[in-house]
Structure 1
C-alpha cells in the first residue's frame, strides 16, 4: 500500500473554525479530483471544526489582516482560508 495526500481548502465566513463554510476546494494528488472546487450545492463540511472531527489535519490558518482604513465594506478575495490535509491509502 502507498499513501497519498489529500488537501482540502475551506473558506469560512469568519476567522473562527466553527463558522460556516462559504467556499471550498479539494485535491487528491491524482490530477483527476472531482469536484475540485465548490461546484456543488453543499460544502463537504458545515464548519472547519467538522473537518477536524472527520480526521482532517489543519496545517495552515488564515492570516488575520485588518481591513485598510476606508475599505472595510469593499468586496475582495475570500480572506478566511484554511488548509487541511489527510493521508489516505491507495
Structure 2
C-alpha cells in the first residue's frame, strides 16, 4: 500500500505596529489547513514572531499586506481596526 502526500496551507496573520515589516507584532491569528492545530485560542500571550521579517526568515511567505489609507481629516486619533495587517502562508506536506 502506498501513501500519497498532500500539500496543505497554513496561514498566519500578523498585525504590526506600523506598515514596516520590521516593526513589532501587536496582534496575530493562525489558521492551519493541516488540521493538526486549532485556530488561535487566546492561550498564548506572546506573538509567534517579534516582527514580520522574523516570520519571513522562518520560511513564511508574505502574500498580502494591508493597503495604506490615510485617516480622514479629524479622525486621526479615533480608535478603529488594526491597520497594518499582513497575511503569510506556509505550504506543508501531510
Counterpart residue number, 2:37: 33
1:9 is aligned to 13
CA distance in 1 between counterparts of 2:72 and 2:27 reads: 23
Asked which structure has the greater CA Rg, the reply is 2
Question: Is the Cα contact below 8 Å between 1:5 and 1:88 reproduced in 2?
Answer: yes
Pairing partner for 1:80 from 81, 84, 92: 84
Deviation at 1:34, TM superposition (A): 3.0
Any idea what the Cα deviations from partners look like across 1:58-80, whole Å, max 9, x if unmatched?
00011000001000000000010
Say how many residue pairs are matched.
90
Normalising by structure 1, what TM-score?
0.91
* RMSD of aligned alpha carbons: 1.6
In the superposition, relative to structure 1, how do residues 8 and 16 fare at CA in structure 2: closer, same or farther (>3 Å)? same
| Misfit runs of 4+, over 4 Å | none
SS in 1 for 2:9: strand
Gaps of 5+ in 1: none
- Alpha-carbon distance, 1:7 to partner: 0.4
Q: Distance in 1 between matches of 2:29 and 2:85?
A: 11
State yes or no: 1:63 paired with 2:67: yes
